[in-house]
Amino acid sequence: MKVGVLALQGAFARHVQMLGDLGVSGTEVRTADELSDVDALVLPGGESTTMSMLLDSSGLRDEVADRISGGMPVLGTCAGMILLAAHVADGRPDQRSFAAIDIDVRRNGYGRQVDSFESDLDVTDLDEPFHGVFIRAPVVDRVGDGVEVLATVDGRPVLCSQGSVVVASFHPEMAGDGRIHGRFLDMAFDA
């Protein structure tokens, strides 16, 4: 299996490194040809409005949307969660999401950069807590019926899945712990 990491903006290099640490071929995706060569995709953290504009200017938006709607497994972290959400409460008027998971989010819902924090998360099916790094993280305001909440902070969902989509408010690539990526890969291999 070959896993792509959207490499238009944001923390894509750390995801590629994490995939490599797990023994999976991770490749940076910037073009439609590169996208067509991967079996799964990671949408990294970064700045969601910038990533949205770059998806349009690069011509990748429709190709990514088609692959996701066709069932390609996708992991979205922080800004990636925003890009995959059904609704973004405070996005720019021209910002579009892929509506791949039935959640509503608020950008920077936990606050500005100075409000960033870390928290040990109890994640469904993980024996030990996962150390979550939250940087200007989105807040999940609504979870649809078909969405499974896998972890929370103060009662708010921070890790969710629906079908072949997994999203996290935090940056699992920064924890030095491959279990969230491993869980995604297990789901993607089973797809």
Give pLDDT tens digits for 157-175.
Answer: 999 999 999 999 999 999 9
From the list 15, 63, 160, 171, the catalytic residue is: 171
From the list 15, 78, 160, 181, the catalytic residue is: 78
pTM assigned to the model: 0.94
Give pLDDT tens digits for 16-46.
Answer: 999 999 999 899 999 999 999 999 999 999 8
Walk across the sheet containing 74-77 and list its strands. 25-29, 2-6, 40-43, 74-77, 165-168, 156-162, 148-153
Q: What pLDDT does residue 11 have?
A: 84
Number of domains in the chain: 1
Q: Which residues, in sequence order, are CB contacts of 164 under 8 Å at separation 6+?
A: 71, 72, 73, 74, 187, 188, 191
Structure tokens at 14: 């750390």
Is residue 120 over pLDDT 70?
yes
Indicate left, alpha or beta for 46 from its phi (over 0: left) and psi (-120 to 50: alpha): left
Give yes or no: 131 in active site.
no
Give pLDDT tens digits for 71-118.
Answer: 999 999 999 999 999 999 877 767 788 999 999 999 876 666 666 789
Give yes or no: 160 in active site.
no
From the list 15, 63, 160, 173, the catalytic residue is: 173
> Which domain, by its residues, includes 164?
2-190
Query: For residue 94, what is the domain's CATH number?
Result: 3.40.50.880
Q: Which residues, in sequence order, are CB contacts of 99 under 8 Å at separation 6+?
A: 84, 85, 86, 87
Q: What pLDDT does residue 117 have?
A: 82
